[in-house]
Amino acid sequence: MNSLNKNQLKNVSYPKQSIDWLTRLIGFDTVSRHSNLALIEDVQGYCEHLGLTVDLTFNEAKNKANLFVTVPSGENADKVDNGLVLSGHTDVVPVDGQEWSSDPFNAAIRGDKLYGRGACDMKGFIACALTLLPQAVQLSNSGQLRRPLHLALSFDEEVGCLGAPLILADLKARGITPDYCIVGEPTNMAMVVAHKGIAVYRCRVHGKSAHSSLTAQGVNAISYASRLIGYVDTLAEEISCREDNDALFDVPYSTLSVGTIHGGTATNIVPNLCEFTFDYRNLPHMTQDDILAPIQAKVAELSAQMRARAPETGIELMQEESVPAMTDNDSAELQALIAALTGDDDRHKVAYATEGGQFTNAGIPTIICGPGSIEQAHKADEYVELSEMARCDEFLQKLLTSCTLK
């Protein structure tokens, strides 16, 4: 575990406890391909020292875990079927190939910023939430906490939001239905009330090889892939012009985008295989069927053309990832609470996806609000401004106060 050099802190005003926690969290290399258990066990020990009961859910390999912990209501210590969830993911993206000015897993303060992998995405919010827990426990023990406060830490958000569904399934099995959730992704502490969903597809086109001088004897997988890609691009243009697009989103329409393509072995060989991937980022009121049904129809049309020439050919379409959109349909009460606490009534909608959609799908009204800017996420020299951490501390303090007895 790392610690900041005292010289880095000289003449710097910063929220000490949350920065100390952030430094501690950054010191755990929780890149998604690695285990997050060391971080989870550290947080578990901290929570248990506060007298809290920690629930863990594991992935199949048992090398990653989610953590869920509740500070119970002071009115009724056994009542945990409501309350407010503070949610964050513990995994971070890789640093491979990036040029960092300092060790990405050793937090460094330069000027008014703290640098390190996960500083804004999203260990900064987790650090502030952990800093809040002791005060929440004191309020619970004194009988002043009228609404339970939950903390949910997940694994593998960055590779498809794989951990949060296990938390939600466990809560459902235990009969726990929180009133609200705040996902602390970086928003510069602005209130994000909705985001798009993501569906990622892989398309595998099976052709038939032949010498390039005898093209009639083959079926060109790249050529048929290009026809399907052209159709995807045409469909993307069509959905961008729909009348029901939402101007509150930073990109006000659903998008389709081809991301990778691989095919062929040599210029003089008709290729027998081509693969490409594309993603669909849908507005909350649209579904995957809005693009999947027409694409499947095009796949069937092209496959029939190919099989008329060689029966062993055709096109496979496989879904590799699916993250639901986050809707603002049921969060008006939560939005009003956040606006009252922050004094900022602005609502934002964003194109990127989070675990928020999984919470809203589970019937839990959710907003996104956290320190730092999404523009710094996933980059070399990722940072969070110290002032953002202070703003998050202040926000969570007000949120906790709203959960106390009047």
Q: What's the token pair of residue 277?
A: 């991937």
Alpha-carbon dihedral 67, 73, 76, 79, rounded to 10 degrees: -40
Q: How confident is the model at residue 6 (pLDDT cuts 50, 70, 90)?
A: very low
pLDDT band per the 50, 70, 90 thresholds, residue 405: low
The pLDDT mean for the chain works out to 94
| pLDDT the model gives residue 292 | 96
What is the signed CA dihedral for 25, 174, 159, 296, rounded to 10 degrees?
Answer: -170
Tell me the pLDDT tens digit for each residue of 207-260: 999 999 999 999 999 999 999 999 999 999 999 999 999 999 989 999 999 999
Q: What is the pLDDT of residue 78?
A: 54
Give the model's pLDDT for residue 342.
Answer: 87
Residue 323 binned pLDDT confidence (cut-offs 50, 70, 90): very high
Phi, psi of 267, rounded to the nearest 5 degrees = -65, -30
Confidence at 333, pLDDT banded by 50, 70, 90: very high
Catalytically annotated residue among 121, 156, 157, 385: 157
Q: In whole angstroms, how large is the CA radius of gyration of the chain?
A: 24
Q: How is domain 6-194+325-402 classified at the CATH fold level?
A: Aminopeptidase (3.40.630)
Report pLDDT for 76: 55
Q: From 85, 151, 94, 84, select the one nearest 121 (Cα to Cα).
A: 94
157 is annotated as an active-site residue: yes
Distance CA 188, CA 210 (A): 56
pLDDT of residue 4: 55
Each domain of the chain, given as residue ranges in start order, spans: 6-194+325-402, 197-323
Q: Is pLDDT of 319 > 80?
A: yes
Q: Is the pLDDT of residue 386 over 50?
A: yes
> Cα separation of 114 and 392, whole Å?
15
Mean pLDDT of 358-373: 96
Residue of 300, 317, 313, 315 lying closest to 218 (CA atoms): 313
Cβ neighbours around 55 below 10 Å, total: 17
For residue range 35-79, list pLDDT tens digits in order.
999 999 999 999 999 999 999 999 999 999 999 999 999 765 555
Core vs surface per residue 79-102: b (16+ CB within 10 A) or e: ebeebbbbbbbbbbbebeeeebee
Q: Is the pLDDT of residue 1 over 50?
A: no
Comparing C-alpha atoms, which of 182, 118, 117 is closest to residue 147? 182
CA distances 59 to 70, 130, 155, 160, 205, Å, are 21, 23, 9, 14, 33
pLDDT score at 11: 47
pLDDT digits (tens, 9 = 90+) for 166-179: 999 999 999 999 99
Fold of 197-323: Alpha-Beta Plaits (3.30.70)
Query: Using H for helix, E for strand and C for coil, what is the string for 183-221?
Result: ECCCCCCCCEEEECEEEEEEEEEECECEEHHHHHHCECH
Q: In this structure, what token pair is assigned to residue 326?
A: 């986050």
Whether the per-residue pLDDT at 30 is higher than 50: the answer is: yes
Percent of the chain clearing pLDDT 70 (strictly above): 94
C-alpha–C-alpha distance, residues 130 and 46, integer Å: 9
Q: What is the largest CA-CA distance in the chain?
A: 85
Q: Residues 100, 379: contact at Cβ < 8 Å?
A: no
Catalytic residue among 91, 385, 388, 393: 91
Q: Map residue 311 onto helix, strand or coil.
A: coil
Tens digits of per-residue pLDDT, 110-149?
999 999 999 999 999 999 999 999 999 999 999 999 999 9
> What's the pLDDT score for residue 74?
79
Side by side, the strands of the sheet bearing 314-323 are 255-263, 273-282, 197-206, 314-323
- pLDDT band for 82, please (50, 70, 90 cuts): confident
